Structure 1
Amino acid sequence: MRSRCYRCCSTCCGLTSWPWTCPFRCTLKLRCPWGWPVAAERGAVLRPGDWITYDDGDHLVVALAGTSVRLRSQSGTESVVLASHLMAAPDFAVTGTEPLPALEPSGLLATLPKPVLTAAKEWESHVLEVNRGLPSSAKPGASPRPEYDPAEHPLVERAQAKADELGVGLRTVNEKRARYARQGLWGLVDQRLVRTSEPTGRADARLVAAIREVLDAETHTSTGTRSRLIRRVIKAVEMTHGEGVVPLPSKNTFYKLIDALSAGRHTFGSAVTRRQAANRPQGPFTPTFADRPGEQVQIDSTPLDVMVVLDSGVTARADLTIAVDVATRTVCAAVLRPVGTKAVDASLLLARMLVPEPMRPGWSESLRMAASRMPHMRLLDADARMEQAAAKPVIVPDTVVIDGGKVFISDTFLRACERLGISVQRARPRTPTDKAIVEATFSSINTLFTQHLAGYTGRDVSRRGERVEDRAVWTVPELQDLLDEWLLAGWQVRPHSTLRDPFRPKRAMSPNDKYASLVAACGYLPLVLRGEDYLELLPVAWRAINDYGIQISYRTYDCPALAPHRREHSGITAKRGLWEVHYDPYDLSQVFVRTPGGWITAPWTQWPLVNAPFADFTWQHARRLAAEAGLDDTNETAVARVLDSLLTRAEHGPDTRSAKVAARTRTARAVPAPAAAPETERRAEPEPEVQPPAAAVEFGIFDAHAEAERWL
Structure 2
Amino acid sequence: MSTRPRLLSLGDRVHYDGREHTVAALHGTSVRLVDDAHAASVVLLGHLLASEGFAVLSTGPARPPLPEEGVLDGLPEEVAERALWWQRHLTELMTGRPDATPGTTVRREYDPEVHSVRQRELAKLAELREAGEEVSLSTLQRLRTRFEREGVAGLVDRRLVKPSTGTSRADPRVVAAIEQVVNSRTDEATVSAQVLRRKVERLLAAEHGAGAVMMPSRAAFYRLLEAVSTGRHLLGSARTRRSLGKQPKRMFGQLTAARPGEVMEIDSTPLDIMVIHDDGKVDRCELTGLVDVATRTLTAVVLRPSTKAVDAALLLARAMTPEPMRPGWSDALRMSRSVLPYTSLLPLDERLAQAAAKPVIVPETVVSDRGKAYISDNFRNACRHLGISFQPAHPDTPTDKPHVERTLGSVATMFAQYVAGYTGRSAETRGKDPAAQAAWSIHELQELLQEWVVAIWQTRPHDGLRDPLMPDRPLTPNEKYAALVSAAGYVPVALSPEEYIKLMPREWRVIGAGGVRINNRTYDARELRPYRRQPSGAGPDGKRWEVHYDPYDISCVWVRNHRGQGWITTTWRHLRTSPVPMGELVFDRAHQVLTERERRRPHEEEVAQAAVKLLDRAADGPEGGAERSAGQSKGRRRAVNRRDRKVAARTRATSTTTWPRPELPAANQAPQPEPDPDPEAAEENEEVAKVVPLGIFDAREEAKRWR
Give the alignment's TM-score, normalised by structure 2.
Answer: 0.70
Aligned-pair CA distance for 1:437: 0.9
Check whether the contact 1:120–1:190 (CA below 8 A) recurs between aligned residues: no
Aligned with 1:208: secondary structure?
A: helix
Aligned AA (1:371):
R
Residue 108 of structure 1 is matched in structure 2 by: 71
1:503 to 1:121, Cα distance in 2 relative to 1, 3 A: closer
More deviation in 657-666 or 114-123? 657-666
Structure-1 residue corresponding to 2:368: 402
Aligned with residue 154 of structure 2, among 187, 196, 207: 187
Residues 699 and 494 of structure 1: is their aligned pair in 2 closer, same or farther, counting only changes over 3 Å? farther
User: Equivalences for 1:505-524 in 2 at 5 Å?
Assistant: 505-524=471-490
Residue in structure 1 matching 2:169, options 186, 199, 202: 202
The residue aligned with 2:678 is none
Distance 1:96 1:472, change over 3 A: same
Shift of 1:360: 1.6
Q: Is the 8 A contact 1:379 1:524 kept in 2?
A: no
Separation in 2 of the partners of 1:200 and 1:477?
57
Residue number in structure 2 paired with 1:676: 661
Taking the aligned partners of 1:540 and 1:97, their CA distance within structure 2 comes to 85
Q: Secondary structure at the match of 1:107?
A: coil
Total equivalences in the alignment: 600
CA distance in 2, matches of 1:354, 1:499: 22
- Alpha carbons of structure 1 residues 271 and 391: separation in structure 2 relative to 1, 3 Å: same
Gaps of 5+ in 2: 574-635, 673-684, 692-707
Where 1:321 maps in the other structure, the secondary structure is strand
Q: Does 1:321 align with 2:288?
A: yes
User: What is the Cα deviation at residue 655 of structure 1?
Assistant: 12
CA distance in 1, matches of 2:19, 2:651: 83
- Give the one of 243, 249, 252 matched to 1:276: 243
User: Distance between the aligned counterparts of 1:378 and 1:427, measured in 2?
Assistant: 36
* 8 Å contact kept, 1:367–1:391: yes
Aligned partner letter, 1:279: K
The structural deviation recorded for 1:150 is: 7.2
User: Residues 433 and 71 from structure 1, CA distance in 2 versus in 1: closer, same or farther, beyond 3 angstroms?
Assistant: farther
Tell me how far apart the structure 2 counterparts of residues 394 and 141 of structure 1 sit (CA, whole Å).
74
CA contact (8 A) 2:322 2:352 kept: yes
Cα deviation code 1:315-363 (max 9, x no counterpart): 22222111111111111111122x2121111111111111111112111
AA matched with 2:179: R
Retained in 2: the 8 A contact 1:128–1:134?
A: yes
Give the partner amino acid of 1:271.
A
Q: Deviations over 1:72-129 (max 9, x none)?
A: 998979687793x76665x241353469865454322132222112223333444456
The answer for the alignment partner of 1:306 in structure 2 is 273
| Residues 8-35 of structure 1: per-residue CA shift (max 9 Å, x gap) | xxxxxxxxxxxxxxxxxxx99xxxxxxx
Contact 1:540–1:582 (CA under 8 A) maintained in structure 2 = yes
Gaps (5+ residues) in structure 1? Answer: 1-26, 29-39, 609-650, 701-712
Distance 1:362 1:659, change over 3 A: closer
* Per-residue CA distance 1:147-187 (angstroms, 9 max, x = gap): x9978994364245236422343333333333333333333
- Spell out the pairing of 1:659-674 with structure 2 (5 A cutoff): 672=657, 674=659
- Aligned partner letter, 1:429: P
CA deviation after TM superposition for structure 1 residue 233, in Å:
0.8
| Residue identity opposite 1:161 in structure 2 | A
CA distance, structure 1, for counterparts of residue 352 and residue 193 of structure 2: 63
The alpha carbon displacement at 1:581 in A equals: 5.5
SS at match of 1:506: strand
Deviation sequence 1:32-88 (CA, Å, 0-9, x none): xxxxxxxx9x6266989774534x6778888889888898998979687793x7666
1:525-547: CA deviation from partner (whole Å, max 9, x where unpaired):
343544433442134589999xx
1:250 to 196, 210, 217: 217
The verdict on how the C-alpha distance between 1:404 and 1:45 changes in structure 2, with shifts beyond 3 A counting, is farther
Matches within 5 A, 1:5-404: 43=6, 51-54=14-17, 83=46, 91-97=52-58, 102-127=65-90, 154-155=119-120, 157-162=122-127, 164-165=129-130, 166-311=133-278, 313-337=280-304, 339-404=305-370
What TM-score do you get using the length of structure 1 for normalisation? 0.70
Q: Contact conserved, 1:101 with 1:182, CA < 8 A, in 2?
A: no
Given that residues 44 and 100 in structure 1 are in contact (C-alpha distance below 8 angstroms), is that contact kept between their aligned partners in structure 2? no
Equivalent position SS for 1:210: helix
DSSP-derived class of the 2:252 partner: coil
Which residue of structure 2 lines up, in the alignment, with residue 491 of structure 1?
457
State the partner residue of 2:445.
479
Shift of 1:497: 1.4
Query: Is the contact made by 2:485 and 2:491 (CA closer than 8 Å) also made in structure 1?
Result: no
Q: Which amino acid aligns with 2:184?
A: A
1:416 shift after superposition: 1.0
Give a deviation string over 1:582-620, Cα, whole Å, max 9, x none: 6658479999678575579999xxx99xxxxxxxxxxxx
CA 1:125/1:410 → structure 2, altered by over 3 Å: closer, same or farther? closer
Give, in whole Å, the separation in 2 of the partners of 1:266 and 1:385: 51
Alignment CA distance shift 1:221-1:77 (3 Å): same
Give the letter for the 1:158 counterpart.
Answer: A
| Letter in structure 2 aligned against 1:122 | W
Task: In structure 1, give the amino acid aligned to 2:354.
Answer: Q
Any conservation in 1 of the 2:357–2:454 contact (CA below 8 Å)?
yes
- CA displacement at 1:145 relative to structure 2: 8.7
Q: Judging changes above 3 Å, is the alpha-carbon distance between structure 1 residues 214 and 688 closer, same or farther for their aligned structure 2 residues?
A: closer
Q: Distance in 2 between matches of 1:58 and 1:256?
A: 54
- The one-letter amino acid of 1:184's match is G
In the alignment, what sits opposite 2:395? 429
Paired residue type of 1:96:
L
Distance 2:141 2:38 in 1: 40
- The Cα RMSD (Å) is 5.2
Which amino acid counterpart does residue 57 of structure 2 have in structure 1?
A: G
C-alpha displacement of 1:687: 10
Change beyond 3 A, Cα 1:583–1:61: farther
Counterpart CA distance in 1 for 2:95 and 2:467 is 56
Paired residues of 1:412 and 1:540 also in contact (CA < 8 A): no
